[in-house]
Chains A and B, each alone.
Chain A
Amino acid sequence: MLDATSILPLTVDAVSFSGGGKQLLEPNSFVIPAGGLTVVLGPNGAGKSLTLRLCHGLLNPSRGTVRWADAPGGQHAARRQAKRHAMVFQKPIMLRRSVEANIAHALAASGTAGAERKVRTQQALARFGLAERAAQPARLLSGGEQQRLAIARAWALRPELLFLDEPTSQLDPAATRQIEELLTVLVAEGITVMMSTHDLGQARRLADRVLFLHRGRLVEDAAAASFFAGPQSAEARAFLAGELLW
């Protein structure tokens, strides 16, 4: 998986974001090294999704920089590295084509040549149990299958770092469980994963490390075990206690 030089660590340096005259994200800094699963945790509206989008390059920071492997950051770097990090969204975005064509399209878009494209498409289909569904329209799959296809499509791009924005929030427990198992395997295979969730149980099950956000501010950045054992901030304690946070 790690061909050539790595794009990691990802360094987020005092990145803030404003929109509509409001400060939506305060200047936050953190580093994502290679390996493991980092959960961006927090209540709704904490800025989790914003943080992932800024890292992936879908948004430009108002202030601060996003750097890959210590190279200067910003949108250009993000685009240059597009092949090396991919993103899966909360509501799967399925093109109006077959399952197979959805994967092939993403590969073509990111510049993978024809022969290689075919090989990787078939690999992805087989790897994620979608081979039988290859010719079916992607939009007619169930929610869980769609999210599985979204992950397969991202995986086919051979990312070092995979962003997932609340990937299971719209799925039933069985489908959620499938996706979680899938992510565990991907991490074991060496893909670095950064995912957001507001589901405390999911964070406990999956996280190696937790970034806890509250009202646009990075309140805690800790190894999962210590975060869950002894949160340092009042906000995190309240969140872990199941209190209503806003």
Chain B
Amino acid sequence: MSLIQRRSLIAAGLFLGLAGHALAQAPAAAPPAATAPAGTRFITVASTTSTQDSGLFGHILPIFKAKTGIEVRVISQGTGQALDTGRRGDADVVFVHAKAQELKFVEEGFSTERRPVMYNDFVLIGPKSDPAGVAGSKDIVAALKKIQEKGAPFVSRGDKSGTHSAELNLWKAAGIDIAAQKGPWYREIGQGMGAALNTSGAMGAYVLSDRATWISFKNRGDLVISVEGDKRLFNQYGVMSVSLAKHPHVKFNDGKLFADWLTSPEGQKAIADYKIDGQQLFFPNAGQAGA
């Protein structure tokens, strides 16, 4: 068949591809932040939605990059999912908040060490109208009991995240076997923190949230903090670099460098400095024993 036709077909295909490249490269060339050029030194960090959605990474990662030249690529998932990403070797560092799951990760040999980094706390969010009558309380256990008794709507993450496992522990502490006693008032949505807050707002339901996500959340509607300040609402974050023993390809040294930095005085200060409307979102506690 005539060469001209074949050429024009190939040219059409190439054109589509090249147009795409050209469009992508125009903006990529100007701002260094937008897209990393090939060959960049980078690590992949699997972390939670709370650290990402609250904007913490947007604040601390540029500081880390300026110091080390290492770009940190963050995949934000629920804690359970993030740990699995580490288990498969698809991340170099895991930075999450569910101590028991983290220790299991280390026990399984996927990391040599789990280090505490910072904490914030969980808050019980609920509608202003407060159908369960728990607003203002400092006793999360009592509040959960009331919610269950009255069958007030409650949204659960239901996604094996750190917040989800914290919520399950709190039900246990309240003496409620939620798996057996849940009714239509208990709604597991299987999504991230932001989605859970959006859903609660729409349904007028209670929901457990980490404070950082709540502070940075913009679609609050009628939602307010119902319960806060209980010691049992403590939320600890830990960091682990994925072990070379399980996954020889991981960037162990650069990953460890990131974990070292997070727990160093400089990293800790960067975390403490991150504020929204004057409110500090995370409290560094790397040196604290037992955290």
Chain A interface (Cβ within 8 Å of chain B)? 104-105, 108-109
List, in ascending order, chain A residues with CB within 8 A of B1's CB: 108-109
List, in ascending order, chain A residues with CB within 8 A of B2's CB: 104-105, 108
Chain B interface (Cβ within 8 Å of chain A)? 1-2
Closest 5 CB pairs of A and B: A108-B2, A105-B2, A108-B1, A109-B1, A104-B2
Least CB distance from A205 to B in Å reads 38
5 residue pairs from A and B, CB less than 8 Å apart: A104-B2, A105-B2, A108-B1, A108-B2, A109-B1
List, in ascending order, chain B residues with CB within 8 A of A104's CB: 2
Least CB distance from A203 to B in Å reads 38
CA distance A105 to B1 in the complex (A): 8
Least CB distance from B209 to A in Å reads 61
Chain B residue with the shortest CB-CB distance to A104: B2
Chain B residue with the shortest CB-CB distance to A107: B2
Chain A residue with the shortest CB-CB distance to B5: A105
CA distance A24 to B122 in the complex (A): 86
Least CB distance from A239 to B in Å reads 44
Chain B residue with the shortest CB-CB distance to A108: B2
Least CB distance from B185 to A in Å reads 65
CA distance A104 to B1 in the complex (A): 11
CA distance A104 to B4 in the complex (A): 11
CA distance A214 to B1 in the complex (A): 40
CA distance A187 to B82 in the complex (A): 83
Least CB distance from A127 to B in Å reads 22
Least CB distance from A231 to B in Å reads 48
List, in ascending order, chain B residues with CB within 8 A of A108's CB: 1-2
List, in ascending order, chain B residues with CB within 8 A of A109's CB: 1
Least CB distance from B12 to A in Å reads 15
Least CB distance from A153 to B in Å reads 14
Chain B residue with the shortest CB-CB distance to A114: B3
CA distance A218 to B2 in the complex (A): 41
Least CB distance from B21 to A in Å reads 30
CA distance A192 to B138 in the complex (A): 106
Least CB distance from B1 to A in Å reads 7
Chain A residue with the shortest CB-CB distance to B2: A108
Least CB distance from B82 to A in Å reads 55
CA distance A108 to B5 in the complex (A): 11
Least CB distance from A118 to B in Å reads 12
CA distance A108 to B4 in the complex (A): 11
CA distance A35 to B1 in the complex (A): 32
CA distance A55 to B1 in the complex (A): 25
Least CB distance from A200 to B in Å reads 42
CA distance A109 to B2 in the complex (A): 7
CA distance A108 to B1 in the complex (A): 7
CA distance A113 to B117 in the complex (A): 75
Least CB distance from A9 to B in Å reads 33
CA distance A104 to B2 in the complex (A): 9
CA distance A108 to B2 in the complex (A): 6
CA distance A105 to B2 in the complex (A): 7
Chain B residue with the shortest CB-CB distance to A109: B1
CA distance A204 to B281 in the complex (A): 101
Least CB distance from A102 to B in Å reads 12
Least CB distance from B85 to A in Å reads 52
Least CB distance from A21 to B in Å reads 37
